[in-house]
Amino acid sequence: MPAAMVAGPAEGARPEDQRVGDPLVDTHGRVHRDLRISLTDRCSLRCTYCMPEQGNEWLAKTSILTLDEIERVARVAAADGITTFRLTGGEPLLRTDIVEIVRRLAAITGPDGRPVDIAMTTNGIRLRELLPGLVDAGLNRLNISIDTLRPDRFRDLTRRDRLDDVRDGIAAAAASTLRPLKLNAVAMRDVNDDELVDLVEFAVAHDAQMRFIEQMPLDAGHTWDRARMVTQDEILQKLAARWTLTPVPGRGGAPAARWTLDGGPHTVGVIASVTAPFCGDCDRLRLTADGQLRNCLFSTTEYDLLPALRGGDERTASQIDGMLRSCVRGKLPGHAINDPSFLQPARGMNAIGG
Ligand code: SAM
Ligand code: SF4
Protein backbone atom coordinates (compact mmCIF):
# COMPACT_ATOMS: atom_id res chain seq x y z
CA MET A 1 0.00 0.00 0.00
CA PRO A 2 1.58 3.41 -1.00
CA ALA A 3 2.53 5.71 1.88
CA ALA A 4 -0.37 8.09 1.17
CA MET A 5 -2.96 5.35 1.62
CA VAL A 6 -4.26 3.89 4.86
CA ALA A 7 -7.06 1.55 5.70
CA GLY A 8 -10.40 3.32 5.87
CA PRO A 9 -13.07 2.89 8.51
CA ALA A 10 -14.00 -0.60 9.72
CA GLU A 11 -14.59 -3.08 6.95
CA GLY A 12 -18.22 -3.14 5.90
CA ALA A 13 -18.91 0.33 7.30
CA ARG A 14 -21.15 2.20 4.90
CA PRO A 15 -20.08 5.72 3.88
CA GLU A 16 -23.20 7.10 5.55
CA ASP A 17 -22.12 5.52 8.86
CA GLN A 18 -18.86 7.49 8.97
CA ARG A 19 -18.75 10.41 11.31
CA VAL A 20 -16.55 13.12 12.82
CA GLY A 21 -13.25 11.51 13.79
CA ASP A 22 -13.05 8.95 10.98
CA PRO A 23 -10.26 9.54 8.46
CA LEU A 24 -11.11 11.10 5.09
CA VAL A 25 -10.34 8.20 2.75
CA ASP A 26 -11.52 8.32 -0.85
CA THR A 27 -12.72 5.45 -3.02
CA HIS A 28 -9.16 4.98 -4.33
CA GLY A 29 -7.68 4.56 -0.83
CA ARG A 30 -6.09 8.02 -0.59
CA VAL A 31 -6.24 9.49 2.90
CA HIS A 32 -6.59 13.26 3.02
CA ARG A 33 -4.26 15.23 5.29
CA ASP A 34 -4.01 18.66 3.67
CA LEU A 35 -6.69 21.36 3.39
CA ARG A 36 -5.92 24.43 1.26
CA ILE A 37 -7.97 27.32 2.53
CA SER A 38 -8.44 30.23 0.15
CA LEU A 39 -9.06 33.39 2.15
CA THR A 40 -9.96 35.76 -0.68
CA ASP A 41 -10.08 35.95 -4.47
CA ARG A 42 -8.67 39.50 -4.37
CA CYS A 43 -5.04 40.16 -5.11
CA SER A 44 -2.41 42.89 -5.14
CA LEU A 45 -1.03 41.54 -8.46
CA ARG A 46 -2.61 40.45 -11.77
CA CYS A 47 -0.36 37.60 -12.94
CA THR A 48 -1.21 36.83 -16.57
CA TYR A 49 -1.48 33.05 -15.96
CA CYS A 50 -3.95 33.56 -13.11
CA MET A 51 -6.14 36.66 -13.44
CA PRO A 52 -7.40 38.97 -16.16
CA GLU A 53 -6.11 42.54 -16.17
CA GLN A 54 -9.62 43.93 -15.85
CA GLY A 55 -13.18 42.75 -15.68
CA ASN A 56 -12.65 39.99 -13.11
CA GLU A 57 -15.92 38.81 -11.62
CA TRP A 58 -15.24 39.04 -7.90
CA LEU A 59 -16.89 36.77 -5.37
CA ALA A 60 -19.71 38.51 -3.52
CA LYS A 61 -18.36 40.01 -0.28
CA THR A 62 -21.29 38.56 1.65
CA SER A 63 -20.32 35.04 0.58
CA ILE A 64 -16.74 35.25 1.89
CA LEU A 65 -16.23 33.03 4.93
CA THR A 66 -15.68 34.84 8.20
CA LEU A 67 -12.97 34.01 10.71
CA ASP A 68 -15.47 32.06 12.83
CA GLU A 69 -16.76 30.09 9.84
CA ILE A 70 -13.25 29.16 8.70
CA GLU A 71 -12.43 28.01 12.21
CA ARG A 72 -15.56 25.85 12.40
CA VAL A 73 -14.69 24.05 9.17
CA ALA A 74 -11.04 23.67 10.22
CA ARG A 75 -11.96 22.13 13.59
CA VAL A 76 -14.05 19.41 11.93
CA ALA A 77 -11.38 18.81 9.26
CA ALA A 78 -8.68 18.43 11.94
CA ALA A 79 -10.87 15.98 13.86
CA ASP A 80 -11.13 13.98 10.60
CA GLY A 81 -7.36 13.77 10.26
CA ILE A 82 -6.38 16.91 8.33
CA THR A 83 -2.95 17.85 9.71
CA THR A 84 -1.95 20.77 7.45
CA PHE A 85 -3.85 23.93 6.65
CA ARG A 86 -2.33 25.96 3.83
CA LEU A 87 -3.66 29.52 3.61
CA THR A 88 -3.81 30.89 0.09
CA GLY A 89 -5.95 32.92 -2.27
CA GLY A 90 -5.96 35.32 -4.14
CA GLU A 91 -3.51 37.00 -1.85
CA PRO A 92 -4.02 35.84 1.77
CA LEU A 93 -2.15 38.83 3.22
CA LEU A 94 -4.95 41.10 1.96
CA ARG A 95 -7.23 39.75 4.68
CA THR A 96 -7.22 42.32 7.46
CA ASP A 97 -7.81 39.52 9.98
CA ILE A 98 -4.96 37.33 8.67
CA VAL A 99 -3.01 37.25 11.95
CA GLU A 100 -6.13 36.28 13.90
CA ILE A 101 -6.98 33.57 11.33
CA VAL A 102 -3.50 32.06 11.81
CA ARG A 103 -3.82 32.32 15.59
CA ARG A 104 -7.20 30.55 15.69
CA LEU A 105 -6.15 27.76 13.31
CA ALA A 106 -2.78 27.22 15.02
CA ALA A 107 -4.62 26.55 18.29
CA ILE A 108 -6.40 23.53 16.78
CA THR A 109 -5.10 20.06 17.64
CA GLY A 110 -5.73 16.75 15.89
CA PRO A 111 -7.16 13.58 17.46
CA ASP A 112 -3.64 12.68 18.64
CA GLY A 113 -3.42 15.96 20.55
CA ARG A 114 -0.74 17.37 18.26
CA PRO A 115 -1.16 20.91 16.88
CA VAL A 116 -1.90 21.25 13.18
CA ASP A 117 0.69 22.66 10.78
CA ILE A 118 -0.05 26.12 9.37
CA ALA A 119 1.49 27.04 6.02
CA MET A 120 0.87 29.96 3.67
CA THR A 121 1.36 30.67 -0.03
CA THR A 122 1.77 34.39 -0.70
CA ASN A 123 3.14 36.83 -3.23
CA GLY A 124 5.17 38.35 -0.39
CA ILE A 125 3.78 41.89 -0.61
CA ARG A 126 3.35 43.31 2.95
CA LEU A 127 5.06 40.24 4.37
CA ARG A 128 7.82 42.21 6.09
CA GLU A 129 5.37 44.18 8.24
CA LEU A 130 3.09 41.21 8.92
CA LEU A 131 5.66 38.48 9.50
CA PRO A 132 6.39 39.05 13.21
CA GLY A 133 2.67 38.88 14.01
CA LEU A 134 2.19 35.78 11.84
CA VAL A 135 5.09 33.94 13.47
CA ASP A 136 3.84 34.93 16.92
CA ALA A 137 0.37 33.65 15.96
CA GLY A 138 1.79 30.24 15.04
CA LEU A 139 2.57 30.25 11.30
CA ASN A 140 4.95 27.36 10.57
CA ARG A 141 5.91 27.61 6.89
CA LEU A 142 5.90 29.96 3.91
CA ASN A 143 5.90 29.58 0.13
CA ILE A 144 6.50 32.85 -1.70
CA SER A 145 5.93 33.30 -5.42
CA ILE A 146 8.50 35.08 -7.58
CA ASP A 147 8.59 34.40 -11.32
CA THR A 148 11.31 36.83 -12.37
CA LEU A 149 14.09 38.94 -10.86
CA ARG A 150 13.84 41.62 -13.56
CA PRO A 151 11.66 44.66 -12.80
CA ASP A 152 10.51 45.19 -16.40
CA ARG A 153 9.45 41.55 -16.74
CA PHE A 154 7.79 41.61 -13.35
CA ARG A 155 5.72 44.63 -14.43
CA ASP A 156 4.64 42.90 -17.65
CA LEU A 157 3.89 39.59 -15.98
CA THR A 158 2.03 40.85 -12.92
CA ARG A 159 0.79 44.18 -14.39
CA ARG A 160 2.04 45.86 -11.22
CA ASP A 161 5.37 47.52 -10.31
CA ARG A 162 5.91 45.66 -7.02
CA LEU A 163 9.07 43.56 -7.45
CA ASP A 164 10.90 45.45 -4.69
CA ASP A 165 8.05 44.70 -2.27
CA VAL A 166 8.17 41.00 -3.13
CA ARG A 167 11.96 40.89 -2.69
CA ASP A 168 11.58 42.69 0.60
CA GLY A 169 9.11 40.05 1.79
CA ILE A 170 11.45 37.24 0.75
CA ALA A 171 14.37 38.89 2.59
CA ALA A 172 12.22 39.14 5.72
CA ALA A 173 11.21 35.47 5.44
CA ALA A 174 14.85 34.45 4.96
CA ALA A 175 15.77 36.33 8.14
CA SER A 176 12.95 34.64 10.08
CA THR A 177 12.91 31.25 11.78
CA LEU A 178 10.41 29.75 9.31
CA ARG A 179 11.94 26.76 7.50
CA PRO A 180 11.81 25.15 5.03
CA LEU A 181 11.28 28.35 3.02
CA LYS A 182 10.10 27.73 -0.54
CA LEU A 183 9.98 30.06 -3.54
CA ASN A 184 7.58 29.30 -6.42
CA ALA A 185 7.89 30.28 -10.07
CA VAL A 186 5.70 29.32 -13.00
CA ALA A 187 8.09 28.52 -15.86
CA MET A 188 6.99 30.30 -19.05
CA ARG A 189 8.40 30.21 -22.55
CA ASP A 190 9.97 33.48 -23.72
CA VAL A 191 8.94 35.09 -20.44
CA ASN A 192 11.29 33.72 -17.75
CA ASP A 193 12.70 30.45 -19.14
CA ASP A 194 16.13 32.09 -19.47
CA GLU A 195 16.10 32.92 -15.73
CA LEU A 196 15.74 29.47 -14.20
CA VAL A 197 19.37 29.23 -13.06
CA ASP A 198 19.27 32.82 -11.72
CA LEU A 199 16.13 32.04 -9.74
CA VAL A 200 17.69 28.95 -8.17
CA GLU A 201 20.79 30.96 -7.22
CA PHE A 202 18.56 33.65 -5.74
CA ALA A 203 16.73 31.01 -3.69
CA VAL A 204 19.96 29.42 -2.47
CA ALA A 205 21.24 32.85 -1.40
CA HIS A 206 18.07 33.16 0.72
CA ASP A 207 18.40 29.64 2.19
CA ALA A 208 15.25 28.70 0.29
CA GLN A 209 14.19 25.91 -2.04
CA MET A 210 13.26 27.05 -5.56
CA ARG A 211 10.29 25.23 -7.07
CA PHE A 212 9.27 25.54 -10.69
CA ILE A 213 5.63 24.94 -11.59
CA GLU A 214 4.46 23.77 -15.01
CA GLN A 215 1.86 26.25 -16.20
CA MET A 216 -1.64 24.80 -15.84
CA PRO A 217 -4.88 25.62 -17.69
CA LEU A 218 -6.30 27.75 -14.86
CA ASP A 219 -5.97 31.31 -16.14
CA ALA A 220 -9.12 33.36 -16.16
CA GLY A 221 -8.57 34.26 -19.82
CA HIS A 222 -8.41 30.57 -20.92
CA THR A 223 -5.27 31.26 -22.96
CA TRP A 224 -3.20 28.23 -21.84
CA ASP A 225 -1.43 26.56 -24.73
CA ARG A 226 0.08 23.11 -24.24
CA ALA A 227 2.45 23.57 -27.17
CA ARG A 228 4.01 26.61 -25.48
CA MET A 229 4.26 25.40 -21.91
CA VAL A 230 7.70 24.73 -20.42
CA THR A 231 7.88 21.08 -19.32
CA GLN A 232 9.65 19.46 -16.38
CA ASP A 233 12.14 17.87 -18.82
CA GLU A 234 13.07 21.26 -20.24
CA ILE A 235 13.43 22.77 -16.78
CA LEU A 236 15.74 19.97 -15.66
CA GLN A 237 17.76 20.24 -18.87
CA LYS A 238 18.43 23.92 -18.26
CA LEU A 239 19.39 23.37 -14.64
CA ALA A 240 21.59 20.36 -15.46
CA ALA A 241 23.84 22.67 -17.48
CA ARG A 242 24.78 24.37 -14.19
CA TRP A 243 24.41 21.69 -11.46
CA THR A 244 24.55 17.93 -11.09
CA LEU A 245 20.97 17.02 -10.20
CA THR A 246 20.28 13.94 -8.09
CA PRO A 247 16.68 12.86 -7.35
CA VAL A 248 15.62 13.05 -3.71
CA PRO A 249 13.64 9.90 -2.75
CA GLY A 250 10.61 9.79 -0.43
CA ARG A 251 8.33 12.32 -2.06
CA GLY A 252 5.12 10.94 -0.50
CA GLY A 253 2.11 13.12 -1.29
CA ALA A 254 4.19 16.25 -2.00
CA PRO A 255 3.41 17.98 -5.31
CA ALA A 256 7.09 18.76 -6.01
CA ALA A 257 9.63 16.17 -7.08
CA ARG A 258 13.04 17.31 -5.81
CA TRP A 259 16.66 17.08 -6.83
CA THR A 260 19.81 17.99 -4.90
CA LEU A 261 22.11 20.59 -6.45
CA ASP A 262 25.68 19.24 -6.71
CA GLY A 263 24.95 16.68 -3.98
CA GLY A 264 23.17 19.09 -1.61
CA PRO A 265 22.32 20.38 0.88
CA HIS A 266 20.33 22.70 -1.40
CA THR A 267 17.55 21.28 -3.55
CA VAL A 268 15.29 22.35 -6.39
CA GLY A 269 11.73 21.16 -6.92
CA VAL A 270 9.49 20.80 -9.97
CA ILE A 271 5.71 20.61 -9.82
CA ALA A 272 4.91 18.82 -13.07
CA SER A 273 1.12 18.67 -12.88
CA VAL A 274 0.80 18.45 -16.67
CA THR A 275 3.61 16.16 -17.88
CA ALA A 276 4.06 14.00 -14.74
CA PRO A 277 0.80 14.14 -12.74
CA PHE A 278 1.02 13.01 -9.12
CA CYS A 279 -2.71 12.42 -8.54
CA GLY A 280 -2.17 8.85 -7.28
CA ASP A 281 -0.68 10.22 -4.06
CA CYS A 282 -2.83 13.34 -3.74
CA ASP A 283 -3.89 14.05 -0.15
CA ARG A 284 -5.32 17.54 -0.71
CA LEU A 285 -8.74 19.13 -0.45
CA ARG A 286 -9.60 22.77 -1.09
CA LEU A 287 -11.95 25.27 0.52
CA THR A 288 -12.69 28.35 -1.55
CA ALA A 289 -13.12 31.78 0.02
CA ASP A 290 -16.87 31.52 -0.58
CA GLY A 291 -17.28 28.22 1.23
CA GLN A 292 -17.10 25.67 -1.58
CA LEU A 293 -15.23 22.41 -0.99
CA ARG A 294 -13.28 21.05 -3.96
CA ASN A 295 -11.47 17.75 -4.25
CA CYS A 296 -9.17 18.82 -7.11
CA LEU A 297 -7.84 22.02 -8.68
CA PHE A 298 -9.38 20.86 -11.95
CA SER A 299 -12.68 19.61 -10.66
CA THR A 300 -15.87 21.12 -12.04
CA THR A 301 -17.93 19.99 -9.02
CA GLU A 302 -18.13 21.95 -5.76
CA TYR A 303 -19.66 21.05 -2.40
CA ASP A 304 -21.37 24.04 -0.81
CA LEU A 305 -20.73 24.53 2.91
CA LEU A 306 -22.59 27.82 3.23
CA PRO A 307 -25.99 26.28 4.06
CA ALA A 308 -24.41 24.24 6.87
CA LEU A 309 -22.44 27.24 8.16
CA ARG A 310 -25.22 29.80 7.91
CA GLY A 311 -28.33 27.70 8.40
CA GLY A 312 -28.52 28.25 12.15
CA ASP A 313 -28.67 24.49 12.72
CA GLU A 314 -27.30 22.92 15.90
CA ARG A 315 -25.82 20.00 13.96
CA THR A 316 -23.30 22.08 12.02
CA ALA A 317 -20.28 19.90 12.84
CA SER A 318 -21.92 16.74 11.52
CA GLN A 319 -23.13 18.60 8.44
CA ILE A 320 -19.63 19.92 7.72
CA ASP A 321 -18.27 16.43 8.27
CA GLY A 322 -20.87 14.98 5.87
CA MET A 323 -19.93 17.52 3.22
CA LEU A 324 -16.20 16.78 3.63
CA ARG A 325 -16.99 13.08 3.15
CA SER A 326 -19.17 13.68 0.07
CA CYS A 327 -16.37 15.77 -1.43
CA VAL A 328 -13.77 13.07 -0.74
CA ARG A 329 -16.06 10.32 -2.08
CA GLY A 330 -16.51 12.23 -5.33
CA LYS A 331 -12.78 12.48 -5.99
CA LEU A 332 -11.69 11.03 -9.33
CA PRO A 333 -8.48 8.99 -9.64
CA GLY A 334 -6.78 11.83 -11.51
CA HIS A 335 -7.24 15.08 -13.37
CA ALA A 336 -7.91 14.98 -17.09
CA ILE A 337 -5.73 17.83 -18.38
CA ASN A 338 -4.21 15.43 -20.88
CA ASP A 339 -7.57 14.12 -22.05
CA PRO A 340 -9.09 15.65 -25.20
CA SER A 341 -12.39 16.02 -23.30
CA PHE A 342 -10.77 18.18 -20.57
CA LEU A 343 -12.89 21.14 -19.54
CA GLN A 344 -11.21 24.02 -17.70
CA PRO A 345 -12.97 24.88 -14.42
CA ALA A 346 -15.08 28.03 -14.52
CA ARG A 347 -13.08 29.64 -11.69
CA GLY A 348 -9.64 31.10 -12.29
CA MET A 349 -6.76 30.05 -10.02
CA ASN A 350 -7.20 33.15 -7.82
CA ALA A 351 -10.76 32.08 -6.97
CA ILE A 352 -9.93 28.40 -6.42
CA GLY A 353 -6.87 28.87 -4.23
CA GLY A 354 -3.50 27.66 -5.46
N1 SAM B 1 -1.18 35.02 -4.33
C2 SAM B 1 -0.42 33.96 -3.77
C3 SAM B 1 0.78 33.60 -4.63
O4 SAM B 1 0.83 34.05 -5.76
O5 SAM B 1 1.63 32.88 -4.14
C6 SAM B 1 -1.23 32.71 -3.48
C7 SAM B 1 -2.24 32.29 -4.51
S8 SAM B 1 -1.54 31.77 -6.06
C9 SAM B 1 -3.00 31.32 -6.94
C10 SAM B 1 -0.76 30.24 -5.60
C11 SAM B 1 0.23 29.69 -6.59
O12 SAM B 1 -0.44 29.31 -7.77
C13 SAM B 1 1.34 30.65 -7.02
O14 SAM B 1 2.60 30.07 -6.79
C15 SAM B 1 1.09 30.83 -8.49
O16 SAM B 1 2.29 31.01 -9.20
C17 SAM B 1 0.41 29.53 -8.87
N18 SAM B 1 -0.39 29.63 -10.08
C19 SAM B 1 -1.38 30.50 -10.37
N20 SAM B 1 -1.89 30.26 -11.59
C21 SAM B 1 -1.22 29.20 -12.10
C22 SAM B 1 -1.27 28.47 -13.34
N23 SAM B 1 -2.14 28.79 -14.29
N24 SAM B 1 -0.43 27.43 -13.50
C25 SAM B 1 0.46 27.10 -12.53
N26 SAM B 1 0.56 27.74 -11.35
C27 SAM B 1 -0.26 28.79 -11.14
FE1 SF4 C 1 -2.32 37.09 -7.33
FE2 SF4 C 1 -1.04 34.85 -6.73
FE3 SF4 C 1 -2.76 34.95 -8.85
FE4 SF4 C 1 -0.45 36.26 -8.98
S5 SF4 C 1 -0.71 34.02 -8.79
S6 SF4 C 1 -2.48 37.08 -9.53
S7 SF4 C 1 -0.12 36.90 -6.89
S8 SF4 C 1 -3.29 35.14 -6.71
For the stretch 65-81, pLDDT in tens is 999 999 999 999 999 99
| Rounded Cα gap, residues 195 and 243, in angstroms | 15
Q: Could you give the CA distance from residue 87 to residue 100 in angstroms, rounded to a whole number?
A: 13
Q: Is the CB of 89 inside a 6 Å radius of any atom of ligand 1? A: yes
Q: Please tell me which residue, 225 or 136, carries the higher pLDDT value.
A: 136
- Whole-number Å distance, alpha carbon 350 to ligand 2 midpoint, is 6
Closest atom of ligand 2 relative to the 350 alpha carbon? 8
Nearest atom of ligand 1 to the alpha carbon of 185: 16
| CB of 273 sitting under 6 A from ligand 1 | no
186 lines ligand 1 (CB under 6 A): yes
Which ligand 2 atom sits closest to the C-alpha of 91? 8
Sequence ranges of the domains in the chain: 3-352
The pLDDT of residue 354? 81
Q: Domain 3-352: what homologous superfamily?
A: Aldolase class I (3.20.20.70)
Q: Which helix (H) or strand (E) holds 87?
A: strand 84-88
pLDDT tens column, 142-184 = 999 999 999 999 999 999 999 999 999 999 999 999 999 999 9
pLDDT per residue as tens digits for the range 86-137: 999 999 999 999 999 999 999 999 999 999 999 999 999 999 999 999 999 9
Distance 50 CA to ligand 1 centre (A): 7
Instruction: Annotate 149-182 with b (16+ C-beta within 10 A) or e (fewer).
Output: beeebbeebbbbebbebbbbbbebbbebebeebb
Confidence of residue 342 (pLDDT cuts 50, 70, 90): confident
Q: What is the pLDDT of residues 290-339, one digit of tens each?
A: 999 999 999 989 999 999 999 877 778 999 999 999 999 999 988 878 77
Q: In 3-state terms, what secondary structure has residue 213?
A: strand
Residue 90, annotated as binding a ligand: yes
- Global pTM reads 0.94
